[in-house]
Structure 1
Amino acid sequence: MEYVKDYDKAFTSSNLERFLPLWQASIGAYPLENPGKIYPWIFESEMHSGQFPDEIDRDLVARIKTLKRQYRFSTLVHGDLKYDNILTNGASFKVIDWEFSTWGDEVWDTVYLSASLILSNSALTIFQDTVEFKSTSWFFILNEEQLAFLKFAYALFEEGKTGVSRFISFLGLAILQRLLESKMGRSKYDHYDYYRGIARDLILRPRIYKKFFV
């Protein structure tokens, strides 16, 4: 970041809503030679289940296997598109830290960016046992700005071929991947267990959460 003069992090929903359509158009516009098809490492869940037995259960492993078959190598992806890797000067944007870029799924960068906002502790208030669902007691409310961005990002994919289940399930995968990355990095999010429960339910029960995105 120190080499990018007069730019700062684009951490507002209005900035990110302007950025996302430009990003979607840009990453599909480069006819690059294929540098290799690399899955996000959350799909190696069986390997990680030994390290994190309380995070990965049998139902979740089975569902992640199914989602791996739905992962498409359709476009260039950044691979680490979190909000602090997006810079703006108010008129234009710059994206930094491209070391994880590869060919991947068009939805991955968007859900990974959305996960970075959900995991921003200042943006999230978590309630347990607030809403009665048949099989879950997890419920989350984002602040107004963050919820606006999630709805915006969801709408981009719901109107296309991706569909409600894939977007929400992959959002859960991105949250879980970021949580496990933080644990391996010897750091831990506040409300870690709540986030983990949200991620699990987004992956296993995506339709329950549709109401939060529309």
Structure 2
Amino acid sequence: MTDRAELAEQIRSACLQAASAAYEQAGISGLCGEGRWKLAVQALKTLDLAPLLETSTPETRRPATPKPEARRGSMQRIEPLRRLSSEHHAGLVIARRARELARNAPDAREAAWADLRQRFADELEPHFKLEERGLLPALLAAGEGVLVERTLAEHLRMRAMIDAGGPEDLGAFAEALADHIRFEEKELFETAQRVLGTEALERIQALHDREAAPVCRT
């Protein structure tokens, strides 16, 4: 195999592994099939190939990972919840990046924490407030107080971590955010799709239509 062919195979393998890992992580977090594919594509967009290009040798070649297959699991998101679920995809990207920096780049934690605080203000806080103004009151009225209380408690905990925490909390916040998204996708949203009536869903959709979506960075 020529050097160019070997490099192409290594790049292909790295891309497949990145997409597969992101797809599986999104499934663990409870995202539906569409959301899992979006996160896999996002992983490809952010994959750093520079180290591979710099150190490309036959010894570094790794076997290709099979293309992930779509699986059935969570319900397909209905329109009033689609925006919130889409914002969860961006939240998982934030959590994954924070986790990786906390583990592998201790010298970059201070800058990463500053970036995380800004992204919390720009993306996560508006998402929390949107849920608290629309979805959560509707679920409370439908008798799902336990789920609402847990959601609000987790929102409060993450706000407190951002307000009072520091670079040393980067990994802990990443885990808290990923766990929260997993809970909302697997339990909160699934329950909402089962118990909320047409009128409640229309009110949620009207609120979402009035509120501009946050600009999510990649």
State the TM-score, normalized to the length of structure 1.
0.29
Which of structures 1 and 2 has the bigger CA Rg? 2
Q: Which has the higher contact order (CA 8 A, sep 6+)?
A: 2
Higher strand share: 1
Higher helix share: 2
